[in-house]
Structure formats: C-alpha cells, structure tokens
Amino acid sequence: MTKIGLEIHCQLTKLESKLFCPCKADYREFEPNTNICPVCMGIPGSLPLLNKKAVEKATRC
C-alpha cells in the first residue's frame, strides 16, 4: 500500500493572538518583550493553548 502524506504550510497574517497563547500577535510598534506571557516565554509549567481561529483558517486553505 502506498501512503502519501501532505505537509501544508500557510501564513496567517490576520490573527489577533499568537498561535499558542492569548498574547497579541501584532508586534509592530511594540517594544521587544512586551506582548509576552508564561506560555510564549516557555516558562516551566505553562501549557500551550492552540489558537482556534488559526486551526479554522488552516483547514479552510
């Protein structure tokens, strides 16, 4: 049996928050290390929360 896997990349520019946390995704006009939280900093014990809209948009592509 032949198995075929597809890896699909899509660039999402209209998300309000980051892919794995509720921090602002828009980095323009912000100082570095402003829109950060324990999740995107990789602080021990934090857990990723997958962005629902990102999944919806990715599956629609």
Q: Which residues bind another protein (CB under 8 A)?
A: 38, 41-50
Closer to another protein by CB, 5 or 29: give it. 5
Angstrom distances, CA of residue 51 to CA of 18, 29, 38, 40, 43: 7, 23, 16, 13, 19
Closer to another protein by CB, 11 or 47: give it. 47
CA-based angle 25:30:36, to the nearest 5?
55
Residue 53 beta carbon to another protein: minimum distance, rounded to whole angstroms: 15
Closer to another protein by CB, 10 or 43: give it. 43
